[in-house]
Structure 1
Amino acid sequence: MDSYIFYGLTAVLLTLSFFKDKKKTKMALKKAWKAFENILPEFLVVILLVGLMLALLNAGTISKIIGSESGWFGVILASLIGSITLIPGFVAFPMAALLVENGAGYMQIAAFISTLMMVGIVTMPVEIKYFGKKATIGRNMLAFAFSFIVALLIGMVVI
């Protein structure tokens, strides 16, 4: 229901913008389309991978690997996967929701999302170039440790 309200509000505001300044509105829509085109390949690949994973793994398997029953092993596994994965946040959160719906545990998903957003194994070479090796490794280690604190807090709140 909320989606319909937001879509309706967007349509009304877009119409008002169009009547106020057609040129700026058209330019904004072109920029939005370009941004969408740039994001689409990443988005489709991640959706494809998640869809494939959900097709190959049933809810029971997901629950065993990163479900509530997997405990700290699942948290560690999820945090390791999150550390080496490079997925934008706008894709990661819907993907996390799909995983939770299919049996993943809240602690495990909290660890996955927090390491995904804060730890950058893939981006380390660039970070080392600008911030130095010591700062990069220190930041990544602190972020990795913090992901376990986040998982523990989520586990205490949700359970």
Structure 2
Amino acid sequence: MDIGFTMFYYGLSAVLLAVSYHKDRKKTKMAVKRALLMMKGVLPYFLAILMCTGAVLLVLTPGTIHGFLGTGTGFGGIILSAAAGAVTLVPVLAVFPVVSELLKNGAGTAQMAAFISALTTVGLVTLPLETKYLGIRAAVLRNLFFFLFSLLTALILEAVL
């Protein structure tokens, strides 16, 4: 995002905060307190996102990323990405910055679509818990169908782009 847009939004926020404070000081102070408490609760997740992104980029060089997950890897790269997503258990918010950096460093769009899709819908790590509530047949079928759906989504995206 352009620095101009960022500064515009900061300025707009400051003006709106001042207007709110002028209209009702008590409500504005309470809202700012709540916002700060929410920020305190979300801060560990943002730190995890930064650490996760940094760790991935430290371990995987652009050449490695391109070799395993680049557009030239085709269906094999899509399967590898979907499999990695299926076994990964991280907050969804942490995935998008990582995927953004992987794309900048040579990963293919379809491969990253498969990764995100499988990560958010397939839960191999949580399968034992899922079988407890859904039963083994339903849990396995749900995960299998969503894994196949993540592959299909990536293939469609690859054909469209």
TM-score by length of 1: 0.83
Give the alignment of 1:35-54 within 5 angstroms.
35-54=38-57
Is 1:94 paired with 2:97?
A: yes
Q: Provide the secondary structure at the position in 1 that maps to 2:28.
A: helix
Is 1:23 paired with 2:26?
A: yes
Give, in whole Å, the separation in 2 of the partners of 1:84 and 1:29: 39
Deviations 1:36-70 (CA, angstroms, capped at 9, x unpaired): 33333233233223213313332111100111122
1:105 aligns with: 108
Give, in whole Å, the separation in 2 of the partners of 1:155 and 1:116: 18
Give the alignment of 1:112-123 within 5 angstroms.
112-123=115-126
Do the aligned residues in 1 keep the contact of 2:52 with 2:94 (CA within 8 Å)? no
Q: Tell me, which stretches of 5 or more residues in structure 2 are unaligned?
A: none
1:80 aligns with: 83
Do the aligned residues in 1 keep the contact of 2:56 with 2:98 (CA within 8 Å)? no
Do the aligned residues in 1 keep the contact of 2:52 with 2:98 (CA within 8 Å)? no
Do the aligned residues in 1 keep the contact of 2:71 with 2:107 (CA within 8 Å)? yes
Give, in whole Å, the separation in 1 of the partners of 2:38 and 2:29: 14
In our comparison, the structure showing a higher alpha carbon Rg is 2
Give, in whole Å, the separation in 1 of the partners of 2:36 and 2:134: 34
Greater mean alpha carbon deviation, residues 127-136 or residues 94-103? 127-136
RMSD over aligned Cα atoms: 2.2
TM-score by length of 2: 0.82
1:139 aligns with: 142
Identity of aligned residues (%): 44
Do the aligned residues in 1 keep the contact of 2:82 with 2:150 (CA within 8 Å)? yes
Do the aligned residues in 1 keep the contact of 2:71 with 2:110 (CA within 8 Å)? yes
- Aligned length in residues: 158
Q: Provide runs of 4+ in structure 1 moved above 6 Å.
A: none
Do the aligned residues in 1 keep the contact of 2:130 with 2:139 (CA within 8 Å)? yes
What is the deviation of 1:82?
1.0
Do the aligned residues in 1 keep the contact of 2:118 with 2:146 (CA within 8 Å)? yes
